[in-house]
Chains A and B, each alone.
Chain A
């Protein structure tokens, strides 16, 4: 990838555009090459007139070294595969800029200090640019700093052109910070030092940038605590809670349902059903991060809770959130988490009063539901099964959900009330359960509740 820096001069100007060579400390007639940690940098000038002089910095990232070296990013083995990193403007280019134009970035010029201190008409073109997000983002980031922005997009490639009358050092600092922000990626580990770097390069402009939060978040690679620390230092006196490391990104389903607080409502409803039925042991199938378990922990009379989930990572999160690592023996013997799958049988599921499946069945392929039914209703046979699943009829009332779309990309189906009731009634009849239904959430007259619940009671069970 390359960056082209052009200085223009009107005939009336007191300087010549060729002074760009002095400003960049590069002789316009020579080919300049140097190795940097980001790759090999080549600098030469394509135009050298009084009116217009352009310097080109081309960065050649070593694709083999990228895979083999220490810079491997943590996105797993895919990092070993071919990708666009060696060819697009990214944090590599920022590193190269800082190395190749260190003096200029510091605002120094040995022979033209007056020009270095002065705002001059510059144009910059970067090609190809890595852009994560809409094209508007470029405008949002550069326009507040006084740039005129032109973006060209063509078949996976973006070329960026910005123009402003500005001090060279300021411009280079803007670019240094904003190139990786556009990319939303950094090729190196972001530590607390990065805050200092960000604040140094952002001095004088970042604090007033309307998108400073986005810039800080992306520049610090989504490490929330670092971001808050940085923002706090930007706006003195302002304090924020120190939240989790990871960005709390709402899952698509939660985002849709958030205004209704639907998930909390669902969990409360299910917990209430269990309480009313005075169950003493609960098998929470598809326990996720343990939100239902957290509610049940407080219930007296429930002396055994087992959460089951197919994902080890999810279980680890549940373990953390439920603070099971700090649990004493008494609590540890009451609550346990186990990896398990709803499409396999499991002998450990015998002998429970209740099983819960809160928003679980819709994550199972319809043709595999028969295995769940066998496992749960024929094999484990808890006295009571409480199940919730989205009511598809309600989807039309969600803003931001396109017609015919499901609430979550992993949903394999969503049922209407009639579909759910017919399935559940069949299951109940076949396996000796009775079943009743109830809506969960605010009920719409024609479309029902956003979620629907079925309660199965084993016939003849106490």
Chain B
């Protein structure tokens, strides 16, 4: 019984005349969904699988279906006669386009048998000449199948051979997705053996004793089982090419190391095999060393290089290692093109002013999720760019040899002990922006103008419909601050469940019950200031801002609103506030305590009138005035009218309304004052959202409040926030909070905010609401109208649906923190920006704005 093994990602082309048994063969070995059959396609486009007039359209469909499957890296089997060379050529081309190996399985069956079979099947009553012509065509091409591009060919000459074939599937050579590391990925060695051993030592590898001037393999291994992964270019240009080769070969042999093939290795292999190659670019040095070795060693080295893979697809597809990098559509695939790309990168054929090939910047457009680590092009520093990193730091040119620890994503370098070769192009070390920051000066509209799916680390993937994304993009591009500053937009906050009776629409009891019923009892309650939400990004100075944020506007910080607009129209006022807060960070010692030179603060900025002047004039103040005037006029008329039955009741009611309107007016007045100078502003920060290397969303609110108190003490424009930590199991705590709320709101305070002390608290059904506001009775007049709490109104207002608001608050919270984590992890700005954009997009969902 013949056995063959084919890759689990391949384009399998069945070749055989009609009646040769292709379809039953296909069904035996492949899933029905893997088979793309011309008969089936013909039926789909014409309702008749034998309608030859539909053949053209049927093959269009066949090609299209096969393309999509291949694009998705799925095994694809073509069940058509494919006896003609030109038909097969199209399929081979398709396989190449998607970097799948083309496999030919030929059913070369006696024409008579085919004809008999056709006779027994309905709708196949064509004459014997049809299979005979097929067979003729088939045999003509049989020999040339490999030349046509098929990488594997299996010919079956009888029904017995067809029945006997056993097909197994194996992962592609490059598919190492089950290998999760951890790895130490090491850049181009180029014979820098001393630096290599030092780096391996620093990484914790133990190298067995060895002799120089020998040719046995040098062995080494990591004490904790980590493995080295070399990106290729082991030799050339450097001083100890042979030893470098011995060590890499030794580690690969033992399994403590792996290697992908580099262009220099490829060329060395050619020389080892006795082909003529130009001994340039330092190959002469390697050759000089290897000429001293035995034939056996050279054979061993040749085999070693021959067996190196083009790239490795690792860790569930999260990591790709290739010498010159690899585009996303090539990961874990195989073709000559993939191999060339992996070794040489993509070039246009042009050369630059240094005589080096002009490289297309594939990494710039890379949007894949897998980390792609590569070497090949010497750089001054190893830096992330869109999840890719070049770790060739030009050791042989006097730079350094760099390793990337993965999955830790940390780099470690050893300086070159000498400059062994002169680079054609100087290693560019003088750059004020990192490669990523330079790239991030421009974000791409077409990355966002689509239905967005954002995976968060809160175990949920959030979807943003395209129309909301577009709305957000419009707002963003017209009004928002520079996206490099806009690392976060705050979530909306849920209002507490509605009080069911009494004169209150909102009451602390409901918020406390909400949390208690979810088992959350450690609560921090904070005073809610009535101003405008402000996000403050503050850096130590403009240089620190440029280094961390990649901005070029010379600012040391910005202040923006909850929709990302500049808070201050006047840039000098913004700069002054930024400077004051920066100084407060300094004098309070927080820069040092938080080990950072930038901070993102979440704050309320007062007075309300500073930002809401227009709204006040257009909406709130006219309403108060009209309500007062309307009630006063009626009262005046009533007092003039004298004694009419029923007027007394109207009088009482109208007096209540006048009082409500006045209360609304007083409440508003309390939030307004002239802000002519910086001293008139009050900024009350309540979250330290992030600092260098840290997102503080898992720190308890007690920490935030205590830390921010220190900050507020440093400058009078900073205001502390009243707060209490309470235990919901404790009745006294609960009563005390209710009393505090009553007192606070009676004095015109907006209300209190209840938060799980843990900040980010997960419950049985997912995230617990991170915050809940309980607004005061008079404050709510601004929201629901002066007379909202009259009995005839309040009972109707209790019918408010909170579900959407809760859901929105939860989703925006997740997106906000996802974005911050991404920023702190130094992911590409495009990934940070999508979170801010998504928060803005969600804000365009219709939700009762009074909640």
Contacts and interface: CB of A to CB of B under 8 A. Distances in A.
Interface stretch (A75-83, A328-336, A418-426, A430-438): A75-83
A346 interface: yes
B242 interface: no
A310 B474 contact: yes
B662 to A, nearest CB: 13
A339 B553 CA distance: 28
Interface string B471-503: 101101110001000000000000000000000
A81 B482 contact: no
B442 A375 contact: yes
Given A2-B630, A64-B793, A344-B444, A31 B645 contact: yes
Contacts of A311: 474
B626 A157 contact: yes
Contact of B634 (A2, A84, A157): A2
Nearest to B553: A367
Interface string A153-167: 001110100000000
A368 B619 CA distance: 33
B782 A341 contact: no
B626 A374 contact: no
A84 B477 contact: no
Interface string B432-452: 000000000111111011000
B849 A80 contact: yes
Contacts of B784: 82
Contacts of B422: none
B401 to A, nearest CB: 34
A105 B445 CA distance: 61
Interface in A9-65: 29-31, 33, 42, 44-47, 56, 58, 63-64
B783 interface: yes
Contacts of A47: 640
A86 interface: yes
Given A81-B619, A339-B449, A367-B553, A347 B785 contact: no
Contact of B625 (A2, A86, A156): A156
A81 B645 CA distance: 36
Interface string A83-115: 110111000000000000000000000000000
Interface string B550-565: 0011000000000000
Contacts of A81: 619, 783, 849-850
Max chain B CB contacts within 10 Å: which of A33, A341, A348, A379?
Answer: A341
B818 interface: no
Contacts of A159: 629, 633
A183 to B, nearest CB: 12
Contact of A1 (B630, B645, B647): B630
A341 B640 contact: no
Contacts of B638: 44
Given A83-B619, A342-B477, A345-B445, A68 B850 contact: no
Nearest to B627: A87
Contacts of B850: 80-81
Contacts of B783: 81-82
A30 B645 contact: yes
A88 B626 contact: yes
Given A88-B626, A156-B622, A64 B449 contact: no
B623 A87 contact: yes
Contact of B785 (A1, A33, A82, A88): A82
A127 B623 CA distance: 14
Contacts of A155: 625
Contact of A128 (B620, B629, B637, B848): B629
Nearest to A82: B785
A156 B621 contact: yes
Nearest to B551: A367
A379 to B, nearest CB: 7
A345 B622 contact: no
A44 B644 contact: yes
Max chain A CB contacts within 10 Å: which of B476, B625, B638, B786?
Answer: B625
Contact of B477 (A58, A127, A344, A370): A344
Interface residues of A, number: 55
B604 to A, nearest CB: 20
Interface in A218-248: none
B630 A87 contact: yes
A194 interface: no
A315 to B, nearest CB: 10
Max chain B CB contacts within 10 Å: which of A1, A44, A346?
Answer: A44
Contacts of B644: 29-31, 44-45
A26 to B, nearest CB: 12
B796 A86 contact: no
Contacts of A87: 623, 626-627, 629-630
Interface in B646-672: 646-647, 650
A213 interface: no
A341 B470 CA distance: 10
B461 to A, nearest CB: 24
A371 interface: yes
A310 B473 contact: yes
Interface string B777-808: 00001111111100001001100000000000
A393 interface: no
Interface of B: 441-446, 448-449, 467, 470-471, 473-474, 476-478, 482, 552-553, 619-623, 625-630, 633-634, 637-638, 640-641, 644-647, 650, 781-788, 793, 796-797, 846, 848-850
29 contacts: A1-B626, A2-B637, A4-B637, A31-B644, A44-B638, A44-B644, A45-B641, A46-B637, A56-B634, A56-B641, A63-B785, A64-B793, A80-B849, A82-B623, A82-B781, A82-B785, A86-B627, A156-B625, A159-B633, A311-B474, A340-B449, A341-B473, A341-B476, A344-B445, A348-B446, A367-B553, A371-B441, A371-B442, A379-B442
Given A45-B644, A341-B477, 14 more contacts: A29-B644, A44-B647, A46-B637, A80-B848, A82-B785, A84-B622, A87-B626, A128-B629, A156-B621, A159-B629, A312-B471, A339-B474, A343-B477, A379-B442
The 7 closest A-B pairs by CB, nearest first: A341-B477, A87-B626, A156-B625, A344-B445, A46-B640, A31-B646, A84-B626
